[in-house]
């Protein structure tokens, strides 16, 4: 009788063990030049479908830091992120800029291009942003 439970259990373990690994898990960083400014984004994707991000803008008219959290879904190479607007924090505080950030980040889907296990890129308007695993 025990053997009849053993085979299905082993099959289930084999299937779960062979499930594709979410390569996105972990912390990723990108730095992009935008005119005289540089924008560094650090994002951590967690296995519960949530993420947190911090952005630092240097060299612009006013150096700015931002942070926010949200949820993500990875469907093959399509990454959809949804930012929780209540979590967006800017330093220095600027309500107009915050409203613009919240509006632009609400929900986005991007096609990831993997360059090995530790680098991916996404299109962002006319440019491509490259993220490296930290």
* Domains in the chain: boundaries: 25-133
Residue 2, pLDDT score: 45
CATH topology of domain 25-133: Lipocalin (2.40.128)
The answer to whether 70 touches 87, Cβ cutoff 8 Å, is yes
pLDDT, tens digit, 9 for 90 and up, residues 91-115: 988 888 788 877 777 789 999 999 9
Report which of residues 1 and 119 the model is more confident about.
Answer: 119
Residue 120 confidence (pLDDT) above 50: yes
24 backbone dihedrals φ, ψ, rounded to 5°: -75, -20
**pTM beyond 0.85, yes or no:** no
pLDDT, tens digit, 9 for 90 and up, residues 54-94: 999 999 887 789 999 999 999 999 999 999 999 999 998 88
Residue 34, pLDDT score: 81
């Amino acid at each position: 009788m025990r053997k009849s439970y053993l085979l299905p259990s082993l099959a289930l373990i084999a299937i779960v063990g062979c499930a594709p690994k979410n390569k996105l898990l972990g912390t990723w960083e990108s730095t992009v030049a935008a005119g005289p400014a540089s924008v560094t984004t650090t994002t951590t994707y967690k296995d519960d479908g949530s993420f947190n991000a911090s952005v630092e803008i240097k060299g612009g008219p006013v150096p700015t830091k931002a942070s926010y959290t949200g949820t993500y879904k990875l469907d093959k190479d399509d990454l959809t992120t949804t930012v929780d607007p209540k979590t967006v924090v800017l330093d220095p505080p600027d309500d107009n800029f915050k409203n613009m950030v919240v509006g632009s980040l609400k929900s986005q889907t991007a096609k990831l291009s993997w360059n090995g296990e530790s680098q991916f890129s996404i299109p962002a308007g006319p440019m491509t942003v490259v993220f490296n695993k930290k």
